[in-house]
Structure 1
Amino acid sequence: MISIKKINEKDIDLCYELDSNTISLWSKKQWAQEFKKEGIRVFGVFFLKTLVGICVFHVVLDEAQINFFAVNQKYRKKGYGSHLMRYLIKQCEDSNINKLFLEVSQTNAIAEKFYSRFDFSTVGIRRNYYMDGSDALIKEKKLTTK
């Protein structure tokens, strides 16, 4: 059974573990700092009671930025990421958010394809943004709000 639940500070160890096993974006300290930021929302997708994916997004007025989106490698291409993204989009629409942003490495073709399925379009580029020298593509999705 798939479920999506809000994640809070007490789950930092779970977040850090999933991050370490996927994209290795943040240290445990950075995870703790993320939870303290104003406007941060964190959701996890679970299979039974196992956390298989996380989405962290930051709401500012009527826009949101996805700061972290990852699914455990062994659960990829099984619909968990799509389930989580649909949930995120619905949450944003219900909150009257007009635009959703994210950034992704130009070298990450799998993520690019995934985000394009949800109508994210490239609206900017940050040159040499990542440590490997690759560019970050800034993606935007315009939302329909109520």
Structure 2
Amino acid sequence: MISIKQMHKKDIDLCYELDSNTISLWSKEQWANEFKKDGTKIFGLLIKNLVIGICVFQVVLDEAQINYFVVNKKFRKKGFGSYLMGYLIKKCEKLNLKNLLLEVSQSNVTAERFYSRFDFSTVGIRKNYYKDGSNALLKEKKINNKIM
């Protein structure tokens, strides 16, 4: 059974473990700090009780910034990332947000292709942003808020 649940401070070890086994973006201390930030929500994608994906996003005024998005390598290309992104977009609609933002390395072609399927468009570039010298693409998705 697939489910999505909000992660809490007690789940830091689960988040850190998945991160360490995938993109190794944050230290345990950085994960702890994410749980303390105002407006930050962390969601886990689970199969039964196994966390296979995580999304961290921060709401600021009428926008949300995706700070972290990953699916365990064993579960990629099976629709789980799309399921998690679909959930996040619906969450943004319910919160009446106007934009969903993220940044991705220009060299991460797979991720860029993934985000383009959800109508994210490149709105800026940060030159030589990453340690490897690659550029960061700033991406934005307009949220379609339905007027009742």
Give the shorter-chain TM-score range: over 0.9
Tell me how far apart the structure 2 counterparts of residues 144 and 62 of structure 1 sit (CA, whole Å).
13
Tell me how far apart the structure 2 counterparts of residues 137 and 34 of structure 1 sit (CA, whole Å).
22
Cα shift at 1:63: 0.2
In structure 1, what is the equivalent of residue 84 of structure 2? Answer: 84
Number of aligned positions between the proteins: 146
Q: Secondary structure at the match of 1:41?
A: strand
Cα shift at 1:144: 1.1
Structure 2 unaligned residues grouped into runs of 5+: none
Tell me how far apart the structure 1 counterparts of residues 109 and 32 of structure 2 sit (CA, whole Å).
30
Q: Give the aligned CA root-mean-square deviation in angstroms.
A: 0.5
Tell me how far apart the structure 2 counterparts of residues 8 and 116 of structure 1 sit (CA, whole Å).
30
Structure 2 counterpart of 1:26, one-letter code? W
Tell me how far apart the structure 2 counterparts of residues 117 and 2 of structure 1 sit (CA, whole Å).
22
Q: Secondary structure at the match of 2:54?
A: strand
Tell me how far apart the structure 1 counterparts of residues 142 and 8 of structure 2 sit (CA, whole Å).
27
Structure 1 unaligned residues grouped into runs of 5+: none
Tell me how far apart the structure 2 counterparts of residues 138 and 35 of structure 1 sit (CA, whole Å).
24
Give the % identical residues.
70
Tell me how far apart the structure 2 counterparts of residues 101 and 136 of structure 1 sit (CA, whole Å).
13
In structure 1, what is the equivalent of residue 64 of structure 2? Answer: 64
Q: Secondary structure at the match of 2:102?
A: strand
In structure 2, what is the equivalent of residue 126 of structure 1? Answer: 126
Tell me how far apart the structure 2 counterparts of residues 38 and 6 of structure 1 sit (CA, whole Å).
15
What TM-score, normalized to structure 2? Answer: 0.97
1:111 aligns with 2:79: no
Cα shift at 1:49: 1.0
1:50-98 deviation per Cα after TM superposition (whole angstroms, max 9, x unaligned)? 0000000000010000000000000001111000000000000000110
Cα shift at 1:145: 1.5
Q: Secondary structure at the match of 2:88?
A: helix
Tell me how far apart the structure 2 counterparts of residues 92 and 135 of structure 1 sit (CA, whole Å).
27
